[in-house]
Amino acid sequence: MRGGCRLFLLLLLALLRGLCHGREPAPGAVTCGSVLKLLNTRHSVRLHSHEVKYGSGSGQQSVTGVEASDDANSYWRIRGKSDGSCQRGTPVKCGQAIRLTHVNTGKNLHTHHFPSPLSNNQ
């Protein structure tokens, strides 16, 4: 899935921007501490990770997309920066920095400029 993680992040940003477009949070706004699944509607896959690490020495988990809607490894928690700026239940504001933490492994989603050993993409 070329650029899959980047597309998922763009979709999440669009979702957050659409839900918090005014000064007051919209009904149904995404909140800090929420657990959700991210669906790439173009490819009908959900952002997925599990406790399989790359063998290249980085020790990072693989992140892929899966079609199964009932996959338990597709849950991600919305968290703020490590400074505690995102209190549970507080609506996420437009432009607010957030982290996505994989529920089952506790690892944060991130991107970098090194190619994946599986897809040779970032």
39-90 per-position pLDDT tens digit: 999 999 998 887 776 666 566 777 888 899 888 999 999 998 877 778 899 9
Sign, Cα dihedral of 83, 89, 93, 99: positive
For the chain, how many structural domains are there in total?
A: 1
78-116 pLDDT per residue, tens: 998 877 778 899 998 888 888 999 999 888 887 666 666
Question: 26 or 40: which carries more pLDDT confidence?
Answer: 40
Q: Which one is predicted more confidently, 120 or 64?
A: 64
Pairing outcome for strands 61-66 and 76-79: unpaired
Work out the average pLDDT over 5-17: 54
Q: Does the pLDDT value for residue 11 go beyond 80?
A: no
Is the pTM of the predicted complex or chain greater than 0.75? no
Whether residue 71 is contained in a domain is answered as: yes
The answer to the question of residue 13 being in a domain is no
Has residue 4 been placed in a domain? no
Residue 96 belongs to a domain: yes
Return all residues near 95 (Cβ < 8 A) that are at least 6 apart: none
Residue 16, pLDDT score: 52
Closest CA to 49 of 2, 105, 10, 4: 105
What is the domain extent for residue 60? 29-115
pLDDT attached to residue 1: 41
Asked whether residue 21 is domain-assigned, the answer is no
Q: For position 60, which CATH number holds?
A: 2.80.10.50
- Domain presence at residue 2: no
| Domain assignment of residue 19, yes or no | no
What is the average pLDDT across 16-42? Answer: 74
N-term to C-term CA, the chain: 11
Residue 83 domain-assigned?
yes
